Amino acid sequence: MRCPNCNSTLSLKNNRCDRCGQDVKIYKRIVKASNAYYNQGLMKAKVRDLSGAVVALKKSLELDKRNTNARNLLGLVYFEMGEAVSALSEWVLSKHFQPDENDADEYMDMIQNNPTKLDTINQAIKKYNSALTSAQQGSGDLAIIQLKKVVTLNPNFIRAYQLLALLYMQQGEKDRAERMLRKANKIDLNNTITLKYLKEIGASATKITQENQAPAKDIKKVMSSEPVSYMPVGSYEESKPNLWPYLFGIICLIVGVCVTYFLLVPQAKKSGSKQQTKQIQTLQAQLSNEESEKAALQKESSQYKKQVEELNKELKEYKGDTDKDNGDTKTTGGVDAILEGASLYLQNKNADAAAAILDVDIDKIDNDKAKALYNTIKDKTFKNAYSSIYSQGWNLFNKGKYDEALKNFKNARKLQSDDANSYFGMGRCYEMLDKKEDAIKIYNDIVDNYKTKNNRRYTMSRTRLRALGQSVD
């Protein structure tokens, strides 16, 4: 399980992320609930309650869309129900959330690497859609012929069996409809639509009369109450050909062509010329702005060159003063570090410049120019360098390189001496290096001095102290 905030691995015992301190108590409950629904869907799928499995797995994904196990299983259930397109959609989404070591690869390859299987699925889908259109247009016999081919190509296509049963029920062929529904029921034992159709057949059997129209009326009641996914199949009334819609469409088309030619074309020409004029004016304004910006950049460049030349001259003068100075070794080393940092800063290597002057003791530097140079480099580089060094410290910590991470956290604390984040990182490194006393000392210091400054690290330090067997008030 990974933290939703920083994507680091979460501990099973702690309710907070060890890295970012995010409270993950509710997140863990959501993930557990999602897994519970996944287990429920798995049990239902094993006993061929596919409809119930779909409901449970969808609830699992509503809670945790990244639950690839639930998504893969939902795809398998869809495929078993003959819904190959829905199955592929779920596996593609699963692959998006988990690119590596995903069973969805095997499932998709099973279909995509078998051209015959893929072509059969495509033919079944096309014929089903054609049969659905025929049924909506009142051509029941043609729809039945097409659906028979569909169930031959895809024997697990439940919706095809249900539609075929409806058409048989409309024609009063109850026995054939029941056979189709029994086949669908073997695939999905608790499909609500299949059970409802079976019940409808049983109810109409006791009331059947000599008239052949009675079953058709009952079937229309059934179709009118079906879910949205089966509503297109519900209309089977015979309709007489009506030419008025076609004539009306032709008349509208002719009127539209006339309006376009006599009204819109002249107006489009006028608007086109206006638009071209506006574009020319816009381009002229852009050229003017670019020329002014170019002049400003050239001016800034010349000013920057002057500043660089003055700073280089100041560095040379200070190097001469240093050579004449008989100060101690530490002072000379500090001055060399400042000069090195200045050289790196002039090359736009801000992070390296900050690292170069990090250990300089400015109180032991007597030269005012050196101090001013130190403060300039510090102001320009320390803030951005802190973020880089601090983040690198946690990256090294997560890789198990605790010695290197400790060095980074110490440097980050030198850049911001009152920062509790890098201080806490030092404590974690000491803890992992089995230097418990140093870690406890840091955690106690954070608890005593950073409650109001950094409440998150204060809370995490109390947690670490308890984990190390220390009593916390």
Within 13 Å, how many C-alpha atoms sit on residue 99's CB side?
0
Higher pLDDT, 471 or 329: 471
Predicted confidence (pLDDT) at residue 118 exceeds the cutoff of 70: yes
pLDDT of residue 42: 93
pLDDT at 322: 53
pLDDT at residue 401, as a whole number = 92
Q: pLDDT tens for residues 317-369?
A: 655 555 555 444 445 556 677 777 777 777 777 777 777 777 777 777 766 76
Collect all residues with Cβ–Cβ distance below 8 Å to 229 and sequence separation of at least 6: 159
The reported pLDDT for the residue numbered 119 is 84
Please tell me the CATH superfamily of domain 126-233, with its number. Tetratricopeptide repeat domain (1.25.40.10)
pLDDT above 60 for 91: yes
Query: pLDDT class for 416, splitting at 50, 70, 90?
Result: confident
Domain 25-113 and domain 126-233 have a common topology: yes
| 159 vs 295, residue with greater confidence | 159
CA gap 16, 13 in Å, rounded: 9
229: three-class secondary structure by DSSP: helix
Give me the chain's average pLDDT, please.
77
pLDDT tens digits along 75-86:
999 988 888 888
Greater pLDDT, 362 or 437: 437
Do residues 153 and 84 touch, judged by C-beta distance below 8 A? no
Task: Report the residue count for the chain.
Answer: 473
- How do the domains of the chain map onto residue ranges? 25-113, 126-233, 418-473
Q: Which pLDDT value is given to residue 360?
A: 76
- What's at 267, amino acid-wise? Q
Across 410-414, average pLDDT = 84
Which has the higher per-residue pLDDT, 1 or 42? 42
Rounded CA separation 422/412 (Å): 6
The 10s digit of each residue's pLDDT in 440-468 is 999 998 888 887 777 788 888 888 888 88
pLDDT band at 243 (very low <50, low <70, confident <90, very high): low
Q: What is the pTM of this model?
A: 0.44
- Classify domain 25-113 by CATH number: 1.25.40.10
pLDDT for residue 140 is more than 90: no
pLDDT at site 314? 60
pLDDT mean over 236-246: 52
Which residue type sits at 228?
A: V
pLDDT at 221 over 80: no
